[in-house]
A and B are shown apart, each in its own frame.
Chain A
Amino acid sequence: MKTTTNFKAAIILSVMASIMVACSSNKKPIATDTATEVAGSEVDFKIEKSGAQLWGEVCNRCHIAPSPADYNDTDWETISLHMRVRANLTEEEITKIESFLKSAN
């Protein structure tokens, strides 16, 4: 069982390392700055992504994306919170998508 234990340790360590990398790169604006220099247009493009575009990219990943007209505003609020948690979406993504869905129904 020695190999299993080593393997276990390796996986747990790599998981922890990824969390740390993720958290630190999220806090350091420097990372974004360098990215802006290297691929400025791409980053600008990302910042300007609209709710409609995010809806097209994000809501198709697991099931076919529903259209704005499928639900009313109240239901979109419930669904957005549900999907934010179930699909583990970022706050930015869900806020933009929710306002798009509510504005276009």
Chain B
Amino acid sequence: MTLIILGLGSSALAQTYNTFEPSKTQFMLRGYGHTGFEYLDTGGEQESTFLGATFAPIFLYKHSDKLMFEAELEFELEGNELKTGLEYADVMYVLNKHMTVRAGKFLLPFGTFMERLHPAWINRLPSRPLGFGHDGIAPASDIGVELRGAFDLGGPKLNYAVYVTNGPRIKDGSEEPEEAGMLDFGYYEDVNLAKALGGRIGLLPLSDSSMEWGISAYTTNSTGAEDSDYKDVGAFLWALDLSYVKSITPLQGVVDIKAQYNSSNVDTATYYEIEDGISEPYSFDNQSSSFYTQLSYRPIMSGSDFMKQLEFVGRYSDFNAPEGAEWEEKSTQYAFGLNYWLSWRSVVKFSYQTTKMEGGHDSDGTTRTNGLFVHWAIGF
């Protein structure tokens, strides 16, 4: 009798347990958000604003140990409009120990900033370095397929990624004459038959993985529409990146160094400038570059709990847009920050940033912009 009861009991228990067993399809809803306050002084003209919160939900679906889907949506207030975006949406499959295939819209491994460091809860400063983001020269994401993987070299490690995507569109100046010759990486529809081909090789020379050097290249034979004068305008971009993160006992904390250099070379083409109703052809050597390096320090071994949560950051960045272009520009920027980490994925950032810009979108002379920022980012 007792046995029967016990038997019944345990099967009932097993049943209860079953409902808690993980489902084979694993789903996570995560993402991040940030908000803040900014005060800017641009050549004596001041403005200040609270920034509309940004919300970026991320969906992760894991179907098996090899198959997974990831997607990120972006919601942002720009002025009074709600701007939405699909940051990425791709499916990935682990083919073998050293190779994974991804397809869809994904963040491009062109250097490391856009793919690995730009989310607000990861980026140590409230802004992106010069050369990234809107009107930047580094490609951020695109639609295509990619192979990636990593090898253990018995201490050092090597990782690679190669991809084929739709590629950028060149701005021919017909819509925005002041941007003629810029590559538009945010134009996802393919304008021609040519595809962009790119890749990155990363080497972690030390067995403690503290350092990584990366070299990336990106090339396309055509950036113009099939039937346009810009069909044969190709582009070649390359980048070098460095990351060094190490806990250093004499310094009682973690030192984090990041750097990336981007170079963009677009074939020379003729653009048109309308002056007094007459269309004047002009041309320029379409080469741009940008660079940033960032040093941050967290005194995690300090005796004080307050100090442990602090982080000190400094970043230098510069950007050079081609001489002779309507968007000719030479800018340098210094950014300094003090962060307070509430958890591993939530941070309050205070920062001061000063930017000197010569030229830029159809403006001459030098403009200096100083800014104070307070941002709060949270990942979840």
Once the chains bind, are A12 and B217 in contact (CB under 8 Å)? yes
Q: Which residues of B contact A8 (CB under 8 A)?
A: 217, 219, 236
Q: Is B251 an interface residue (CB 8 A)?
A: no
19 A–B contacts from the bound complex (CB under 8 Å): A18-B158, A18-B203, A31-B153, A32-B154, A61-B209, A62-B122, A62-B243, A63-B121, A64-B341, A64-B345, A66-B344, A74-B26, A77-B26, A77-B65, A85-B68, A88-B148, A91-B98, A93-B150, A93-B152
- Residues of A17-57 at the interface with B, using a CB-CB cut-off of 8 Å, are 18-19, 22-23, 25-26, 31-32, 35, 42-43, 46, 57
Apart from A22-B153, A61-B212, A81-B66, list 14 A-B contacts with CB within 8 A: A4-B265, A8-B236, A11-B215, A22-B158, A57-B208, A57-B210, A60-B245, A61-B210, A61-B245, A63-B345, A74-B26, A86-B115, A88-B148, A89-B150
Q: Which residues of A contact B199 (CB under 8 A)?
A: 15
Known contacts A15-B217, A88-B148, A90-B150; A57/B97 CB under 8 A: no
Known contacts A60-B245, A81-B68, A82-B68; A92/B217 CB under 8 A: no
Task: Please measure, in the bound complex, the distance between the C-alpha atom of A86 and the C-alpha atom of B109, giving whole angstroms.
Answer: 9
Residue of B nearest to A21 (CB): B158
Once the chains bind, are A46 and B154 in contact (CB under 8 Å)? yes
Q: Which of A31, A63, A87 has the most CB of B within 10 A?
A: A63
Q: Is B277 an interface residue (CB 8 A)?
A: no
Residue of A nearest to B155 (CB): A46
Once the chains bind, are B153 and A25 in contact (CB under 8 Å)? yes
- Residues of B340-380 at the interface with A, using a CB-CB cut-off of 8 Å, are 341, 344-345, 379
Q: Is B126 an interface residue (CB 8 A)?
A: no
Q: Is B134 an interface residue (CB 8 A)?
A: no
Task: Tell me the smallest distance from the CB of A50 to a CB of chain B, in Å.
Answer: 13
Q: Is A104 an interface residue (CB 8 A)?
A: no
Once the chains bind, are A73 and B268 in contact (CB under 8 Å)? no
Q: Is B116 an interface residue (CB 8 A)?
A: yes
Known contacts A26-B151, A62-B117, A63-B121; A90/B345 CB under 8 A: no
Known contacts A8-B219, A42-B207, A82-B70; A22/B151 CB under 8 A: yes
Once the chains bind, are B209 and A64 in contact (CB under 8 Å)? no
Once the chains bind, are A18 and B201 in contact (CB under 8 Å)? yes
Task: Tell me the smallest distance from the CB of A59 to a CB of chain B, in Å.
Answer: 10
Q: Which residues of B contact A19 (CB under 8 A)?
A: 160, 201
Task: Please measure, in the bound complex, the distance between the C-alpha atom of A77 and the C-alpha atom of B117, giving whole angstroms.
Answer: 22
Task: Tell me the smallest distance from the CB of A61 to a CB of chain B, in Å.
Answer: 5
